[in-house]
């Protein structure tokens, strides 16, 4: 079910009439998704945001490395969409920045040159997010379970 657009989500453009920015954004997002499926994506986004029908009194913080190791252990999906990682061993495919210089040379993939170095420390980000959620819960009188 689509959300009812707020008044400020619609704008009049000359010679085009009203424009629904939510619909444009949704269409733009789905145009970028390689494996986009409206039914699956709606439930997935709701679940990730803890607002779906199974929402619980806890915080979900996804770690893309953990998810990739669990659901793409051999790196088939990664290698399909990131050809620069094609030569990386399966034990390092989800964390190529952990390769030694020798492993990078053998894989033909230099971190920082052929593939970018990480820009997010997921462990530190998780700790920071949990700390902020706990502070917000304390301030509101809720518990974080």
* pLDDT tens per residue across all 145 residues of the chain: 455 555 554 555 555 556 677 777 777 777 787 777 777 777 777 776 666 666 555 677 888 899 999 999 999 999 999 999 999 999 999 999 999 999 999 999 999 999 999 999 989 999 998 899 889 888 988 765 5
Phi-psi region of 97 (alpha: psi -120 to 50; beta: other; left: phi over 0): alpha
Q: For the chain, which residues make up each domain, given as ranges?
A: 8-56, 59-145
pLDDT given at position 62: 80
| List of residues 6+ apart from 92 with CB closer than 8 A | 98, 99, 103, 107
What does the alpha-carbon distance between residue 133 and residue 135 come to, in Å, rounded to a whole number? 5
Q: Which of 49, 47, 3 is nearest to 22 (CA)?
A: 3
Q: Could you give the C-alpha distances from 87 to 27, 66, 76, 135, 145, in angstroms and in order?
A: 35, 21, 12, 44, 43
pLDDT given at position 52: 63
59-145: CATH architecture:
Orthogonal Bundle (1.10)
Which residue shows structure tokens 């964390």? 95
For residues 20 and 10, is the Cβ–Cβ distance under 8 A?
Answer: yes
What does the alpha-carbon distance between residue 47 and residue 98 come to, in Å, rounded to a whole number? 31
pLDDT given at position 28: 79
């Amino acid at each position: 079910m689509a959300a009812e657009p707020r008044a400020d989500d619609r704008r009049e453009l000359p010679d085009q009439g009203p424009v629904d920015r939510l619909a444009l954004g949704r269409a733009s997002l789905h145009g970028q998704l390689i494996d986009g499926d409206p039914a699956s994506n709606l439930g997935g986004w709701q679940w990730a945001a803890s607002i779906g029908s199974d929402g619980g009194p806890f915080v979900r913080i996804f770690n893309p490395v953990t998810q990739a190791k669990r659901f793409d252990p051999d790196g088939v999906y990664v290698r399909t969409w990131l050809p620069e990682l094609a030569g990386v061993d399966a034990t390092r495919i989800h964390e190529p920045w952990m390769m030694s210089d020798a492993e990078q040379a053998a894989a033909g993939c230099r971190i920082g040159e052929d593939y970018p170095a990480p820009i997010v420390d997921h462990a530190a980000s998780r700790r920071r997010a949990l700390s902020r959620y706990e502070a917000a819960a304390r301030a509101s009188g809720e518990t974080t379970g």
